[in-house]
């Protein structure tokens, strides 16, 4: 289980949706970080990361997501997550990601709100 | 605006400009002022940023920054001004303090996360009776908390078989040769070989990139929790003894949860079997005749008592021509297997009796049926007879206990077996015999649960006592004779629990 996969499933020029499957560890976190940098460099300022197929993240993965968050905020952008498992939601809360990133229960709600405010 | 001022402003804005880190911003300012072709900045042994081809023999400068000692190396160009070096030291010092604060905050939050994970795993495991869920929760929490790249939970050891069937999708990959160990859950790839999982010592395994601990409960080893490759930023590092202790804590919690899950499943299974047995007992009771057919001039009675919930004794009385077909059988063994075979014998007899063939043909067909449908060591002793209205009795005994016929004058004869039990010897043949049930005579057929019931000295009740009881019951109704026989056997055994099923069929021909 938990083979890592990252897919850019949606991008309309203002909001990009990344779907993550599997373990967010060093390798997975760096893949997300690279893709997020590419999208930010291309001018996208709102990133939504869908974690419905992710059940596990370690502290290296979290530190990499924190860096993505910092970079996005530095550029005045928004980093959002949706579809978090309860344990990952708790982890985000403890590790400070929930403080600055936006969290949504599902993707349609996230997209509606992000597009409405972007 | 001078490079010196720009640098101070960049430092005031934050740790990075877009995706450019502050040390890189400092280097850019240096390159801009000096025209150097390459430069790098470091702290102690650590290189923080490089621009251009890293200078191997460049000039090195100190960047004063309070307690930290940053250095700058440049290649080509002019010497950086003292003001620029001072500004670089100031902003890098501030950056370093901010970075250290960030790291400290992260470390503090990570410790909080560790505690929360331990609490959460305890709660998750304690609240679950589902081994699949327990194995997955254990794996995900332990792997994440130890920053392992790979992790797995094996079911291995004495307690594993009870769990293996309960874990959904237990991996068929890499099982032990004898199937005694299986992967219950895995993340990121394998850690141990099947042989390593099966032979892990109680002290576990701590060898650089791999860490494994046994999951052991009160019933012995249940499995193994293993992780591999502890991740750090940009690489991996060896596991420490502290990591081993943390993993051991997880394993101990999981062992309690897994044992509770096994106990729960066993209790549920016992309850299910109990219900099935209850149902089987009802079905068997309904298969035996609840009321016996009547034949003028004769009285009949029968009773069956199983040593377990279901038994291997069977009897039947079926109207046949001008009289009755009598059958009493005893299937080898006890419990459910014997009950299933007894039901099979009874069903076959009822089908055969639709055409009422000669006894030898009934025996032949039943024998063939049992040979076809039961294991080689399963057989049944059967006494069967056609009782005609005029008292003529055609009988056949396939390995059954002697049937007692007690005459009105007190004499007894025994109707002995004329062939082996049915379903035992493929080449067996059977013959029937004839006798007469004279007026006032009593026929008493029974299974070995009656004749072989033992007293405290291991003495069997025996055929002799049955014959004496039959002879002494002249004029007594068959139902009362059956009662007396059961009571006598009960007294003989001192009320000890039944070791075998007991069945009696009694027929008395009315006197003159």
Contact A87 B120 (CB under 8 A): yes
B187 contact A CB<8A: yes
SS3 A75: coil
Closest in B16, B145, B234 to A74, CB measured: B16
B185 contact A CB<8A: yes
Closest in B14, B105, B140 to A56, CB measured: B140
Run of H or E including B65:
strand B59-65
The reported pLDDT for the residue numbered B19 is 58
Tell me the percentage of chain B whose pLDDT exceeds 70: 92
Q: Does the pLDDT at position B168 exceed 70?
A: no
Concatenated DSSP letters for B348-363? Answer: HHHHHTTT---HHHHH
B59 contact A CB<8A: no
Which residues does chain B have within 8 Å of residue A93's beta carbon, measured at their own beta carbons? none
Position of tokens 């003495």? B459
CA atoms of B254 and B258, how far apart (whole Å): 6
What value does the mean pLDDT take over residues B403-423?
Answer: 94
Closest in A41, A71, A95 to B109, CB measured: A95
Cα distances (Å, whole numbers) of residue B356 to A103, B85, B320, B395:
82, 118, 7, 14
CA atoms of B269 and B283, how far apart (whole Å): 21
What value does the mean pLDDT take over residues B483-512?
Answer: 91
Contact A56 B149 (CB under 8 A): no
SS3 B29: helix
CA atoms of B306 and B289, how far apart (whole Å): 15
CA atoms of B193 and B328, how far apart (whole Å): 59
Closest in B16, B19, B147 to A59, CB measured: B147
CA atoms of A84 and A75, how far apart (whole Å): 25
Least confident range of B283-287, B327-331, B359-363: B283-287
Among A37, A54, A56, A96, the residue to mutate for chain B (most B Cβ within 10 A): A56
| β-pairing verdict for A102-104 and A78-82 | parallel
Contact B187 A94 (CB under 8 A): no
CA distance B17 to chain A (A): 7
Closest CA to B328 of B354, B346, B340, B341: B346
Contact A60 B148 (CB under 8 A): no
Closest in A27, A40, A56 to B187, CB measured: A56
**Interface A:B, Cβ pairs < 8 A:** 71
Q: Which residue of B has its CA nearest to A57?
A: B144
Contact B158, B219 (CB under 8 A): yes
Q: How confident is the model at residue B201 (pLDDT cuts 50, 70, 90)?
A: very high
Contact A71 B19 (CB under 8 A): yes
Q: How confident is the model at residue B105 (pLDDT cuts 50, 70, 90)?
A: confident
Of B85-99, B122-136, B487-501, the range with the highest mean pLDDT is B487-501
Write out the residues of chain A at the interface with chain B, using a CB-CB cutoff of 8 A.
1-2, 23, 25-27, 37, 40-41, 55-60, 63, 66, 70-71, 74-75, 87, 90-91, 94-96
Which residues does chain A have within 8 Å of residue B143's beta carbon, measured at their own beta carbons? 23, 56, 58
* Residues facing residue B502 across a β-bridge: B305
Contact B144 A71 (CB under 8 A): no
Q: Does the pLDDT at position B491 exceed 80?
A: yes
B112 contact A CB<8A: yes
The reported pLDDT for the residue numbered B59 is 87
The reported pLDDT for the residue numbered B218 is 84
Tens digit of each residue's pLDDT (9 = 90 or more) over B376-392 = 778 999 999 999 999 99
The reported pLDDT for the residue numbered B32 is 87
Residue B322 token pair: 């001008």
Contact A62, A97 (CB under 8 A): yes
Closest in B19, B147, B187 to A60, CB measured: B147
CA angle B204/B207/B209 to nearest 5° reads 115
The reported pLDDT for the residue numbered B202 is 93
Of B154-163, B341-350, B464-473, the range with the highest mean pLDDT is B464-473
CA distance B36 to chain A (A): 28
SS3 B316: strand
Contact B6, B88 (CB under 8 A): no
Contact B187 A1 (CB under 8 A): yes
Over B260-297, what HEC string results?
A: HHHHHHHHHHHHHHHHHHHHHHHHHHHHCCCCCCCCCC
Which residues does chain A have within 8 Å of residue B18's beta carbon, measured at their own beta carbons? 71, 74-75
What value does the mean pLDDT take over residues A71-80?
Answer: 92
Residue B26 token pair: 């400092």
Residue B479 token pair: 């139902």
CA distance A71 to chain B (A): 6
Run of H or E including B72:
strand B68-75
Q: How confident is the model at residue B401 (pLDDT cuts 50, 70, 90)?
A: very high
- Chain Cα centroid distance, residue B52: 65
Contact B233 A70 (CB under 8 A): no
CA atoms of B87 and B172, how far apart (whole Å): 64
Contact A95 B106 (CB under 8 A): yes
What value does the mean pLDDT take over residues A37-50?
Answer: 94
B233 contact A CB<8A: yes
Contact B186 A96 (CB under 8 A): no
Cα distances (Å, whole numbers) of residue A60 to A65, B147, B232:
9, 7, 7
Among A76, A87, A98, the residue to mutate for chain B (most B Cβ within 10 A): A87
Q: Does the pLDDT at position B171 exceed 70?
A: no
Which residues does chain A have within 8 Å of residue B14's beta carbon, measured at their own beta carbons? 74
Please, which contacts does B480-483 make with residues 24 or more away whose CB atoms are closer than 8 Å? Answer: B481/B301, B481/B442, B481/B444, B481/B506, B481/B508, B482/B301, B482/B302, B482/B303, B482/B506
Which residues does chain B have within 8 Å of residue A57's beta carbon, measured at their own beta carbons? 144
Which residues does chain A have within 8 Å of residue B142's beta carbon, measured at their own beta carbons? none
Closest in A23, A71, A75 to B188, CB measured: A23
Compute the mean pLDDT over every residue in chain B, rounded to the nearest whole number: 87
The reported pLDDT for the residue numbered A51 is 97
Closest CA to B510 of B398, B391, B403: B391
What value does the mean pLDDT take over residues B46-51?
Answer: 85
Tell me the percentage of chain B whose pLDDT exceeds 90: 45
Which residues does chain B have within 8 Å of residue A66's beta carbon, measured at their own beta carbons? 106
Tell me the pTM: 0.60
Closest in B187, B234, B235 to A23, CB measured: B187
* Residues facing residue B216 across a β-bridge: B221
CA distance B237 to chain A (A): 13
Which residues does chain B have within 8 Å of residue A56's beta carbon, measured at their own beta carbons? 140, 143-144, 187
CA atoms of B211 and B234, how far apart (whole Å): 20
CA atoms of B223 and B158, how far apart (whole Å): 9
Q: Does the pLDDT at position B174 exceed 60?
A: no
The reported pLDDT for the residue numbered B375 is 79
More confident residue, B290 or B200: B200
| β-pairing verdict for A15-21 and A5-11 | antiparallel
């Amino acid at each position: 289980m938990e083979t890592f996969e990252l897919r850019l499933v949606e991008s309309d020029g203002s909001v990009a949706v990344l779907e993550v499957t599997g373990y967010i560890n060093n390798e997975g976190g760096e893949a997300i970080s690279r893709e997020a940098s590419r999208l930010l460099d291309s001018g996208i300022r709102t990133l939504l990361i869908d974690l419905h197929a992710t059940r596990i993240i370690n502290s290296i993965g979290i530190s990499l997501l924190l860096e993505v968050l910092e970079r996005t905020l530095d550029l005045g952008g928004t980093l959002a997550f949706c579809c978090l498992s309860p344990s990952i939601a708790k982890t985000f809360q403890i590790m400070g990601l929930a403080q600055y990133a936006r969290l949504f229960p599902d993707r349609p709600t996230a997209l509606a709100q992000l597009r409405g405010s972007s | 605006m001078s490079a010196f001022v720009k640098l101070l402003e960049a430092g005031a804005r934050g740790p990075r400009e877009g995706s450019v880190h502050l040390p890189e911003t400092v280097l850019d300012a240096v390159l801009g002022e000096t025209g150097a072709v390459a430069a790098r900045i470091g702290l102690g042994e650590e290189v923080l940023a490089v621009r251009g081809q890293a200078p191997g023999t460049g000039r090195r400068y100190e960047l004063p920054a309070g307690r930290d000692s940053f250095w700058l190396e440049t290649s080509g160009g002019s010497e950086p001004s003292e003001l620029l070096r001072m500004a670089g030291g100031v902003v890098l010092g501030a950056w370093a303090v901010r970075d250290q604060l960030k790291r400290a905050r992260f470390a503090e939050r990570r410790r909080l996360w560790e505690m929360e994970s331990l609490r959460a795993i305890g709660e998750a495991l304690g609240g679950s009776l589902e081994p699949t869920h327990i194995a997955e929760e254990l794996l995900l929490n332990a792997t994440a908390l130890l920053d392992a790249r790979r992790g797995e939970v094996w079911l291995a050891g004495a307690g594993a078989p009870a769990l293996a069937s309960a874990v959904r999708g237990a991996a068929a990959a890499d099982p032990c040769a004898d199937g005694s160990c299986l992967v219950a859950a895995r993340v990121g790839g394998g850690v141990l070989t099947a042989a390593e999982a099966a032979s892990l010592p109680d002290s576990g395994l701590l060898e650089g990139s791999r860490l494994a601990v046994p999951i052991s409960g009160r019933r012995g080893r249940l499995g193994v929790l293993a992780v591999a490759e502890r991740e750090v930023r940009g690489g991996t590092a060896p596991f420490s003894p502290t990591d081993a202790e943390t993993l051991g804590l997880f394993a101990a919690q999981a062992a309690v949860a897994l044992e509770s899950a096994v106990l729960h499943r066993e209790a549920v299974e016992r309850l299910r079997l109990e219900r099935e047995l209850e149902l089987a007992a009802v079905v068997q009771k309904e298969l035996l005749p609840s009321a016996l057919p009547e034949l003028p001039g004769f009285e009949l009675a029968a009773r069956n008592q199983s040593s377990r919930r279901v038994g291997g004794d069977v009897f039947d009385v079926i109207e046949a021509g001008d009289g009755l077909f009598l059958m009493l059988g005893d299937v080898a063994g006890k419990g459910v297997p014997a009950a299933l075979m007894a039901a099979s014998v009874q069903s076959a007899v009822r089908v055969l009796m639709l055409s009422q063939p000669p006894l030898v043909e009934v025996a032949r067909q039943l024998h063939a049926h049992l040979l076809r449908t039961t294991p080689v060591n399963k057989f049944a002793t059967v006494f069967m007879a056609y009782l005609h209205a005029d008292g003529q009795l055609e009988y056949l005994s396939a390995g059954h206990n002697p049937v007692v016929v007690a005459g009105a004058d007190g004499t007894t004869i025994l109707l002995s077996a004329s062939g082996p039990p049915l379903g035992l010897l493929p080449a067996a043949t059977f013959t029937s015999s004839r006798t007469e049930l004279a007026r006032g005579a009593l026929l008493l057929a029974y299974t070995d649960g009656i004749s072989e019931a033992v007293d405290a000295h291991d003495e069997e009740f025996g055929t002799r006592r049955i014959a004496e009881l039959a002879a002494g019951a002249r004029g007594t109704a068959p139902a009362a004779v059956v009662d007396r026989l059961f009571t006598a056997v009960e007294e003989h055994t001192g009320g000890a629990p039944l070791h075998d099923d007991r069945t009696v069929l009694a027929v008395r021909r009315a006197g003159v």
